Chains A and B, each alone.
Chain A
Amino acid sequence: MFKKPINIISFLLLFVFAILPLVLGFGFAVAYSFGLIGVLNKGFTLENWLALFENNDVVISFIYSAWLAIASLTISVVVSMAIAINFNKKFSKGIYSYLVYMPLAFPSIVAAFFFAQFLGNAGILSRICYQLGIIDKIQSFPNLINDQYSIGIIIAQFFLSLPFFTLLYTGLYQTERIDDYTKLANSLGAKNRQSIFRISIPILFKKSFPNIVLYFIFKIGAYEVPLLLGRSSPETVSVLAVRKLQKFNLYDIPQGYAIAVIYTIIILSLLMLVLKTNKNEYDI
């Protein structure tokens, strides 16, 4: 196994920077949530877990996180597919191929800040509406951030993920030779619309499905955007975990770690499913 020193170094690197942190972090969270360690530990107990499920907050938080991820992903996938199918050439070179990279230069926190300034009650959109006479006072502008429907979060996440999917689909469009298939379908008598819905979209969707799931996995843990643009209830998993673990109520800490344990198990199982069903790796 370790014929060469470089192999020992490689293994140590993997162990120290990837495997060990995972094991330590997860082990610590498990131990803390069962009362085995921590400031208030009294030995093994299920108390914290039972307390956690006394109300629906945690379940709601997970569903809410998943919903936000799905909503923003759906819009991104639809728009970027439309781009790939309609404007493939425009986006593979020229000015648009540069513009589409723009959101990649945005850290989540900057995107969140921008959308707060853009969509907020006193934001740019609201001012434009006022100047155009669509609204007559600040209060008439609908809440788009920290709002009931999380519109601000979804838009910001959509903005952040659009380049990723546009690049993915314009790439797939070429490697999967969608143009050729479309021509073939047309020569067999399909109308443009039919070949788009029966050929282009199914191929693109099938090929990108693993990437979509991977992206979903990343987005469930989103932190900055919901932190700045979300409401105090419901909260996404990351925001909830941070609140439970960083605030001063010591009784909340074991519950916070229990949330981290649930989150880790869900994410890792999902990940295993994707990687198992798709033997080949993905470019990231």
Chain B
Amino acid sequence: MSTTFKKRNIFLWLLALAFITPIITLFFLSFSKNWQFPAILPKQFTLENWRYLFFSGGNIAPSFVISLVIALSVATFSTLFGFIASKYIAYHKFRSKLLMLTYFPFALSPVIFALCLKFFFIKMSLTGNVEGIILAQLIIAFPYSVIFFTGFWSQKIKQYEDLVATLGGTTSYAFRKIVMPIAKSLILVCFFQCFLISWFEFGLTSIIGYGKVETLTIKVYQFITEANIFYAALSCCLLILPPVILLWFNKKFIIQQAK
């Protein structure tokens, strides 16, 4: 009995370690300098990396802002559009065929999809600028949002709407007073998810953005190719921070809903 108990605990400890180590490592590296083999800890801990990247021409703050603007726009548009379009699909007689069509762009590798669409983005002068990236990311986030919400528009929601109508309420009244309140938490979750899709996106962004729009993921890649691991780690920390905060709130939120 005691050996299995030990085995179980070791397994759990390993898992916990696997979940925590990456964050801690990246965090430490972002404050490090001079990390020669075989030392486990760097010789120096310093604020220099953060100071340089934020205040002395390292240009990480603008990247953070650009990423944030792009992700918030993509999340807003895709959630809104997806919510509307999913209703159309959900109650359509060709529901499953339309749904399959929406799955297609979502399942394709964004980077390959971007390569096939690059020509059209060039024609519309949408390469190398923020608008182009927002549009391109919408093409992957929007289908996600549609698929996400199609499950929401059930027979039951339709019955609620019909019920409101027979009680004398208009469609928009039903939408404001009943459908929206019921959908609220789902909308929030979808918004977070779409935000993350955009926030994490690298391949498609690098192709449509030509590397000119320096989002955080592009910065990470640049620092890695320059072999500057401390700056790369710092950018990684900035990338992880919002999702960690977000997931923490989101999960809490979900648990509260379940209660």
Pick from A83, A124, A138, A237: contact of B112, CB below 8 A. Answer: A237
Segment from A44-52, A107-115, A204-212 that makes contact with B: A107-115
Q: Does any Cβ of B come within 8 Å of A148's Cβ?
A: no
A256 contacts across to B, CB distance below 8 A: 115
Separation of A122 and B258 alpha carbons in the complex (Å): 46
CB atoms of B25 and A118 under 8 A apart: yes
B232 contacts across to A, CB distance below 8 A: 113
Q: Map CB proximity to A onto B142-175 as digits: 1 under 8 Å, 0 otherwise.
A: 1110111011000000000000000000000000
CB atoms of A221 and B111 under 8 A apart: yes
CB atoms of B105 and A224 under 8 A apart: no
CB atoms of B37 and A122 under 8 A apart: yes
CB atoms of A13 and B85 under 8 A apart: yes
Q: Does any Cβ of A come within 8 Å of B96's Cβ?
A: yes
Pick from B22, B84, B147, B244: contact of A284, CB below 8 A. Answer: B147
Separation of A245 and B134 alpha carbons in the complex (Å): 22
Pick from A9, A104, A114, A224: contact of B26, CB below 8 A. Answer: A114
Q: Residue on B with the closest CB to A217?
A: B107
Q: Map CB proximity to A onto B97-129 as digits: 1 under 8 Å, 0 otherwise.
A: 011111111011111110111011000000000
CB atoms of B101 and A18 under 8 A apart: yes
Separation of A13 and B146 alpha carbons in the complex (Å): 10
| Interface of chain B residues 44 through 88 with chain A (CB within 8 A) | 81, 84-85, 87-88
A13 contacts across to B, CB distance below 8 A: 81, 84-85, 142
CB atoms of A17 and B81 under 8 A apart: yes
CB atoms of A222 and B199 under 8 A apart: no
- Least distance between B249 CB and chain A CB atoms (Å): 11
Q: Does any Cβ of A come within 8 Å of B23's Cβ?
A: yes
Given the known inter-chain contacts A127-B37, A237-B112, please indicate yes or no for A110 contacting B81, CB distance below 8 A.
no
CB atoms of B84 and A110 under 8 A apart: no
- Least distance between A60 CB and chain B CB atoms (Å): 18
Q: Does any Cβ of B come within 8 Å of A98's Cβ?
A: yes
CB atoms of A118 and B21 under 8 A apart: yes
CB atoms of A130 and B38 under 8 A apart: yes
Given the known inter-chain contacts A24-B117, A102-B19, A284-B144, please indicate yes or no for A107 contacting B8, CB distance below 8 A.
no
| Interface of chain A residues 1 through 59 with chain B (CB within 8 A) | 6-7, 9-11, 13-14, 17-19, 21-22, 24-26, 28-29
B119 contacts across to A, CB distance below 8 A: 28
B221 contacts across to A, CB distance below 8 A: 109
A24 contacts across to B, CB distance below 8 A: 116-117, 120
CB atoms of B85 and A245 under 8 A apart: no
CB atoms of A281 and B151 under 8 A apart: yes
> Which of B29, B116, B150 lies at the interface centre, i.e. has the most chain A CB atoms within 10 A of its CB?
B116
A9 contacts across to B, CB distance below 8 A: 84
CB atoms of B105 and A21 under 8 A apart: yes
| Interface of chain A residues 197 through 255 with chain B (CB within 8 A) | 214, 217-218, 220-224, 228, 237-238, 241-242, 245-246
> Which of A10, A109, A238 lies at the interface centre, i.e. has the most chain B CB atoms within 10 A of its CB?
A109
Interface of B: prevailing SS: helix
Given the known inter-chain contacts A105-B240, A279-B96, A281-B151, please indicate yes or no for A238 contacting B85, CB distance below 8 A.
no
B105 contacts across to A, CB distance below 8 A: 18, 21-22
A220 contacts across to B, CB distance below 8 A: 109
CB atoms of B240 and A128 under 8 A apart: no
Given the known inter-chain contacts A28-B119, A113-B220, A223-B202, please indicate yes or no for A107 contacting B108, CB distance below 8 A.
no
Q: Does any Cβ of A come within 8 Å of B40's Cβ?
A: yes
CB atoms of B111 and A10 under 8 A apart: no
Pick from B87, B100, B200, B247: contact of A10, CB below 8 A. Answer: B87
CB atoms of B243 and A105 under 8 A apart: yes
- Least distance between A128 CB and chain B CB atoms (Å): 6
Separation of A218 and B15 alpha carbons in the complex (Å): 25
CB atoms of B12 and A281 under 8 A apart: no
| Interface of chain B residues 1 through 54 with chain A (CB within 8 A) | 8, 11-12, 15-16, 18-23, 25-26, 29, 37-40
Q: Does any Cβ of B come within 8 Å of A106's Cβ?
A: yes
CB atoms of B244 and A105 under 8 A apart: yes
CB atoms of B202 and A224 under 8 A apart: yes
Known: A17-B138, A159-B18, A257-B115. 5 other contacts (CB 8 A): A7-B88, A25-B117, A99-B19, A103-B19, A106-B243
What are the nearest 6 A-B pairs in CB distance? Answer: A221-B109, A10-B88, A25-B116, A107-B200, A105-B243, A130-B38
11 A–B contacts from the bound complex (CB under 8 Å): A10-B84, A22-B101, A24-B117, A98-B251, A107-B201, A109-B220, A117-B29, A117-B229, A220-B109, A238-B112, A260-B115
